[in-house]
Chains A and B, each alone.
Chain A
Amino acid sequence: MKIVVCIKQVPDTTEVKLDPKTGTLIREGIPSIINPDDKAGIEAALRIKEETGAHVTVLSMGPPQADTALREALAMGADEAILLTDRAFGGADTWATSSTLAAALKKIPYDLVITGRQAIDGDTAQVGPQIAEHLGIPQVSYVSELHAKGGSITAKRDFEDRYHLIKVACPCLVTALAELNKPRYMSVGGIMDAYRERQVTVWTLADIQDTVDPANLGLKGSPTKVKKSFTKAAKGSGETFSVGADEAVAIIMEKLRGKNLI
């Protein structure tokens, strides 16, 4: 079985802090990591590889420093790594991103494509399903259990109040939740190999010219645009009230209502 895992290198947004003076995000010194949902995807692919001898390719669309994320995947045990990088891809929304990734996927033999459900910077959860549409293959998202056998996938697909046990024939696309598994660490030897023995293949626009429509690339190819971005107000020290119980309840109810918590 041939598996391609799409991964994204993201800033560790759980470490991001607000500069209290300027009200803007402090982005310097934030470590870059493999997006957690994607890492679960790599682990899922590696487990299938261990069980069935599958071949695992890891693909990432990003700036040159995404090389590190791909090396990490190699150090975990992936067989091949491809970095899709070009200035022309910059500023892409999910339509453009998924179009570009799909164009690359059309050049890689695959039975199963695994993406993470959502990236912790963009938080859209859209790229996976959109890739599936571009490739014309079935998608199963919110996967919390995954098995591959003889040309098809069985999975547990989660909803808020239930789950489906589903079976789908390959080729297909699956989006992985971080809850899917506990990803392995890189091994010491794996890291040494990733840098000394292995390669990250680099593809630019030229490599996918024949499978992509340039009108779908980058900022220009993006139907959605960011009009503005701003930080939420920093939490100051709030108000304290010394009042009777009934008044206290009224104040609390008002606040809860105002925040749509009830």
Chain B
Amino acid sequence: MNFQLSKEHEMLQKMYREFTENEVKPFAEEVDEKEEFPVETVKKLARYGFLGIPFPKECGGQGADHLAYAMAVEELSKACATTGVIVSAHTSLCASPIYLFGTEEQKQQYLTPLAKGEMLGAFGLTEPGAGTDAGGQQTTAVLAEDHYILNGTKFFITNAGYADVYMIIAMTDKSKGTRGCSAFIVEKDFPGFSVGKKEKKLGIKGSSTCELILEDCIVPKENLLGREGEGFRIAMRTLDGGRVGIAAQALGIGQGAVDETVKYVKERKQFNKRISQFQNTQFQLADMQTRVEASRLLVYQAACGEDCKQPFAHLAAMAKLYASETASDVTRRAVQLFGGYGYTREYPVERMMRDAKITEIYEGTSEVQRMVIAAWMKIN
């Protein structure tokens, strides 16, 4: 078992860090303060291949792997969790399912521009009445000759309003329950498709989280992904990959908070010495870094599992569960170590604390992750 990064991955990490330091970090505060989607940053991300990392060159991707992708989300999230989730939602939740389940035509028409960053992707599963109970889908899709007509509302959709392509789950046969769901590739300009209300959130404020409204939305037959009835399975497989991305985001948030804290405690003086010299400070940070390190190993293991095409759903669940709870814990402790200053917007840790929370909730709450792990353990 080799825990060393390959030379390529080391150089990727170096590039990610440089890019983040110069192109992401300086804007993180403003993105949060103004709750603005970082359009310019996304253009730069596209230029350097961040939006197609794990996809083969033939599909317009960068020819790297899921470990490289997870590392990218991690590094971006250290400075700005919003930027991290934009890449993650686009890659894992939209481009990936098309790569895994799409026809040649669908890949050419959608995967290639998504992987090249010419188009941005999003994923619509959640509905006002179907969150953790994702099976309770109310959005319907009715076949009429050469097209489907979709009706319903999607909720809490990341990248909404900026995405060009949406992976939408809808019921083609209500009588079959989850086996009656299908997956559709929906373009933003399809008639009957619109983006509704934008959510005001506690954290990842620059991430655009909106409602999607499908009112007799016309979707060509060719845009059915996989076969009718496969939608739920596709969605679950998609979320497995998405969990690796979110776990990586949480990992980044945690590490970013530890790094900021280490810097601060070396400068701040009280009682005539630097607070880094107090044992409590040292012990807290030791705990925090150890937990983040453990998250890292789980995240990288899950990413490698996905690359090896082994069953990795349980690894992804463990990584997301642990990394997200670690991020919340570590960021809370970080604010505490900063003291009063940490509560102000002058330092980034309060934002990191606010950003961390969502990682315990979206793409499957921590409770759902526990269900997945317990099922894999065959406890019941």
Contact = CB atoms under 8 A, between A and B. Distances in A.
Q: Do chains A and B touch in the complex (CB under 8 A)?
A: yes
Interface of A: 31, 68, 71-72, 75, 185-196
B: contact size bracket: 20 to 34
B48 A187 contact: yes
A188 B50 contact: yes
Nearest to A193: B63
B11 A191 contact: yes
6 contacts: A72-B11, A75-B15, A187-B49, A188-B50, A188-B64, A196-B8
Contacts of A191: 8, 11-12, 15, 64
Nearest to B13: A191
B162 interface: no
A189 B69 CA distance: 12
B11 A188 contact: no
B199 interface: no
Nearest to B69: A188
The DSSP consensus for interface residues of chain B is: helix
Nearest to B22: A185
A190 B62 CA distance: 8
Contact of A189 (B6, B11, B18, B63): B63
Given A195-B7, A195-B11, A185 B62 contact: no
B11 A71 contact: yes
Contacts of A75: 11, 15
A9 to B, nearest CB: 13
A182 to B, nearest CB: 9
Contact of B68 (A71, A186, A188): A188
Contacts of B64: 188-189, 191-192
B197 interface: no
Interface string B59-80: 0011110001000100000000
Contacts of B6: 195
Nearest to A197: B63
B15 A195 contact: no
A78 B203 CA distance: 41
B62 A192 contact: yes
Contact of A187 (B7, B14, B18, B62): B62
A186 B12 CA distance: 8
A220 B11 CA distance: 36
A137 B57 CA distance: 42
Given A185-B48, A188-B53, A195 B8 contact: yes
Interface string B1-32: 00000111001101100110000000000000
